[in-house]
Chains A and B, each alone.
Chain A
């Protein structure tokens, strides 16, 4: 079960998060290896999203450390963490609702763009040139997630499934090395989920590591290289999808004590 530290891209060690008196995450330790898809699963309230928020700088950890390729993440702001190459999506659908689909992706290209305020104000030709390149790149990303035909639509007029694809497009625009997806297929129908899994497979080919939080077990078992299972803030299992599926602790966490006993 232990991986060689050389291949570990993200190392989370003894992470503890408390909200007032409530401990959301306690002593969580896991690693994400370069190039893999790691899923974080567990029942509601297990601390998955809290861990996500701590890694990406949206909440402060109360203890432990998070290290990305040797850089300590504790105390960094979300935008600084994004600059390191960790880009996340959100559990609740989160796009720039009042903007067009294309503009949404252009917002995502913020870190790719290099314009400086003074160059913008003086209207240097380099700015105009880069704007053309950015638009082309945004169209390319929209093509990648299958939203080419929607570029000029208002984000608010997209159907739900396409909104979730737009979220991924925005995150991809930020050129992630490690992509953190928070329940990307929740609320999708089976065919939407299936096409999302195809996109995820394409993302893997881009040499992007993926950390996934998901409830849809079919999706988790289908795409993951490794699965970490949390319950009540603690890690109870860590292994391949097959190992996790057979793990009695996991079954107990999900289905309760009685079910396990009844199954013998």
Chain B
């Protein structure tokens, strides 16, 4: 039943470019998909280890910039008479490198921040993202600063002049984002249902108890940060080669906030939560736009919605729906204590 539902949902997603002839809506769906990947990566940290990273957009932006610069080539003076240059590399390599470098930054942040939790972790991650944004803005020789990196090449896969798929048009990009999204979902699913994921959940739920049964807290926080950062970086590389222009605004804090809202509203610490929240908050701006709501008003709505979700659906949409569903079933089968079922399901 559950398997069939998943399959139907995937088939539906895969069929979208076949019947949707509105390219603008397809564009919105691609951008939503990229953000869903970023939100899923954030959920690994926020939902499963309980650490709120508000610098998550930094990993996204690092992925975008590294991949763009690798595929465009660059030449910078690190010292007055020491010049470092790189020729343009293939896009698949740039995307891989962007993902890896974002993961390395995640490792560094994880190591640096491993002893701090809660508010302090949040502020460290924000600071990190701001420093990176200021570097992107000011290191003009490398990043073109506010002039942005333009004409970023699109992805081609295959053997040149024999058989090659070009990810230039929207349907191709849609399938690319969908494929990467499914891959990230599978990786996260495997992680959280394994020893590693259990260790992350354990340290979120009760850190002293987790370490008393041998969980190396630092190790699993760093693991979560690395995987999470690499995935956010991958989302950034998708963004760079789809939009094909990257400027320091990719580091804007508001994007992190968007990811946080997606995770919290959908349900942190659930696999489907960021997907549901991501789709809602990815499409909401377009709904508001078509209702001729000015963009500022749209953000006001975002802020108010965020407060309302925290007040009325603190667990998020997915757990709320599941609790409702399970409590109905429990009412049919009175031998299972309803409270036990719902609480167990809401983790």
In the complex, A touching B (Cβ < 8 A):
yes
Interface residues of chain A, those whose CB is within 8 Å of chain B, are 56, 58, 77-79, 82-83, 87-90, 94-100, 103, 106-108, 110-111, 113-115, 117, 120-121, 123, 127, 131, 152-154, 156-157, 170-171, 173-174
Q: List B contacts of A88 (CB < 8 A).
A: 212
Partner of A99, one of B201, B217, B223, B341: B201
Report how many residues on chain B are interfacial, defined by Cβ distance under 8 Å: 35
Measured CA separation A152–B338 after assembly (Å): 12
**Residue B191, interface by CB 8 Å:** yes
Contacting chain A: which of B32-40, B41-49, B88-96, B202-210? B202-210
Measured CA separation A154–B345 after assembly (Å): 8
Additional A-B contacts beyond A96-B206, A121-B190, A153-B337 (12; CB < 8 A): A79-B211, A94-B208, A98-B346, A99-B201, A107-B210, A110-B210, A115-B195, A117-B223, A120-B196, A131-B193, A152-B340, A156-B343
Measured CA separation A107–B223 after assembly (Å): 17
The answer to whether residues A56 and B347 also contact, given A106-B198, A115-B196 and a CB cut-off of 8 A, is no
Query: Is the pair A170, B198 in contact by a Cβ cutoff of 8 Å?
Result: no
The answer to whether residues A94 and B206 also contact, given A107-B198, A115-B195, A157-B340 and a CB cut-off of 8 A, is yes
Q: List B contacts of A103 (CB < 8 A).
A: 198, 201, 347
**Residue B87, interface by CB 8 Å:** no
Measured CA separation A79–B218 after assembly (Å): 10
**Residue B286, interface by CB 8 Å:** no
**Residue B160, interface by CB 8 Å:** no
Query: Is the pair B194, A107 in contact by a Cβ cutoff of 8 Å?
Result: no
Closest to A111 in B: B214
Q: List B contacts of A100 (CB < 8 A).
A: 344, 347
What's the A-B contact tally at a CB cutoff of 8 Å?
117
Query: Is the pair A153, B340 in contact by a Cβ cutoff of 8 Å?
Result: yes
Query: Is the pair A110, B213 in contact by a Cβ cutoff of 8 Å?
Result: yes
The answer to whether residues A154 and B340 also contact, given A121-B191, A131-B194, A170-B213 and a CB cut-off of 8 A, is yes
Q: List A contacts of B343 (CB < 8 A).
A: 98, 154, 156-157
The answer to whether residues A110 and B202 also contact, given A88-B212, A99-B347, A154-B343 and a CB cut-off of 8 A, is yes
Query: Is the pair A82, B214 in contact by a Cβ cutoff of 8 Å?
Result: yes
Measured CA separation A149–B157 after assembly (Å): 55
The answer to whether residues A110 and B212 also contact, given A99-B205, A157-B339 and a CB cut-off of 8 A, is no
Q: List A contacts of B210 (CB < 8 A).
A: 107, 110
Query: Is the pair A78, B202 in contact by a Cβ cutoff of 8 Å?
Result: no
Query: Is the pair A121, B187 in contact by a Cβ cutoff of 8 Å?
Result: yes
**Residue B199, interface by CB 8 Å:** yes
Closest to B215 in A: A110
Closest to B189 in A: A123
**Residue B141, interface by CB 8 Å:** no
Partner of A171, one of B195, B201, B212: B212
Chain B nearest Cβ from A101, distance in angstroms: 9
Q: List B contacts of A115 (CB < 8 A).
A: 194-196
Query: Is the pair A107, B202 in contact by a Cβ cutoff of 8 Å?
Result: yes
Chain A nearest Cβ from B334, distance in angstroms: 15
Partner of B195, one of A120, A157, A173: A120
Query: Is the pair B196, A117 in contact by a Cβ cutoff of 8 Å?
Result: yes
Q: List A contacts of B211 (CB < 8 A).
A: 77-79, 82
**Residue B249, interface by CB 8 Å:** no
Q: List B contacts of A153 (CB < 8 A).
A: 337, 340, 344
Measured CA separation A77–B196 after assembly (Å): 19
The answer to whether residues A170 and B209 also contact, given A79-B215, A99-B347 and a CB cut-off of 8 A, is yes
Query: Is the pair B199, A78 in contact by a Cβ cutoff of 8 Å?
Result: no
Q: List A contacts of B202 (CB < 8 A).
A: 96, 107, 110
Q: List B contacts of A111 (CB < 8 A).
A: 213-214
Q: List B contacts of A123 (CB < 8 A).
A: 186, 190
Q: List A contacts of B191 (CB < 8 A).
A: 117, 120-121
Chain B nearest Cβ from A154, distance in angstroms: 3
Measured CA separation A215–B282 after assembly (Å): 58
Query: Is the pair A171, B340 in contact by a Cβ cutoff of 8 Å?
Result: no
Q: List B contacts of A121 (CB < 8 A).
A: 187, 190-191, 227
Q: List B contacts of A78 (CB < 8 A).
A: 208, 211-212
Partner of A173, one of B199, B213, B340, B341: B213
Measured CA separation A171–B206 after assembly (Å): 14
18 contacts between A and B (CB under 8 A): A78-B211, A82-B213, A87-B212, A95-B209, A98-B343, A98-B346, A103-B201, A103-B347, A106-B198, A107-B202, A107-B215, A110-B213, A113-B195, A117-B191, A127-B190, A156-B343, A157-B337, A157-B343
Partner of A96, one of B209, B217, B227: B209
Closest to B346 in A: A98
Measured CA separation A153–B345 after assembly (Å): 10
Q: 6 shortest A-B CB distances, which residue pairs?
A: A154-B343, A82-B214, A78-B211, A111-B214, A174-B213, A96-B205
